[in-house]
């Protein structure tokens, strides 16, 4: 499902907080425009379109590292508080 389809679905169900959606859409559009402008200027200045690939790889690397760190913090918190890690015997019904 695309983000547009999800937004339309929420709107049709009456579950969309309209003022939040408008603010979010405006900030996202402005950030996209700023990012496109900055990357285009950087590529023009350096003459290397491969910078786009490097920027994307960097974003993915940072995202993966943050997911690992915050996931690890969550696991440590769960273990310290005696919560299970989601594993249980097949026959447990409780």
**Residue 25, Cβ neighbours under 10 Å: how many?**
11
What is the reported pLDDT for 2?
Answer: 86
Q: Where are the domains of the chain?
A: 1-47, 49-94
What is the reported pLDDT for 92?
Answer: 61
Q: Which residues of the chain have pLDDT under 50?
A: none
Q: Which residue, 35, 8, 39, 2, is CA-closest to 21?
A: 8
């Amino acid at each position: 499902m695309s983000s547009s389809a999800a937004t339309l679905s929420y709107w049709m169900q009456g579950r969309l907080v309209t003022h939040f959606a408008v603010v979010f859409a405006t900030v996202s559009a402005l950030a996209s425009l700023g990012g496109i402008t900055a990357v285009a200027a950087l590529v023009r200045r350096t003459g290397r379109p491969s910078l786009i690939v490097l920027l994307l790889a960097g974003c993915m690397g940072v995202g993966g590292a943050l997911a690992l760190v915050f996931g690890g913090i969550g696991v440590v918190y769960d273990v310290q508080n005696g919560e299970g890690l989601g594993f249980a015997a097949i026959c447990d019904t409780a």
